[in-house]
Amino acid sequence: MSSGRQLGSENFARFVAWVSEREARGDHADYIRRGKLNRKEVATELGFNRRSFGQNPAIKQLVEELDVRWGSQHPALSKSIAEESAARERANDRMKRTATSNSKLLQRIASLQEENRQLRRELEEVKHFKSARDAFLETTKDFR
């Protein structure tokens, strides 16, 4: 059974070989997502745990260098990140406008509900007075 240091050294050696192979083939762009190395995909391909990228200092440093070196070679990615950021900002603005509009509508609904309650009370009063008037007219009909 290998010690942690030995396993870390083996993983680093495998990772360095993988990096060399990617640079030789020129297909490292396939492993870049949003301007960074896709650690999950690389770890799966190399057969070691993804946590190695954070726990192994040598691998961590090389990955950070690759993020800068390989990630910056793709202006389309940085453009898409900028577009994504702009889209997120537009969505936030739209959400704020919607929230404001919803708030105004809720206030309007509350106002209309109160007005409706008041009108129903007035209608009940009118019905009460109408029935009292009808009763009065019925009882005074013989006196006319």
User: What are the tens digits of pLDDT across the range 30-67?
Assistant: 888 888 888 999 989 988 888 888 889 998 998 888 88
Are the C-beta atoms of residues 32 and 74 closer than 8 Å to each other? yes
Q: Is the pLDDT of residue 115 over 60?
A: yes
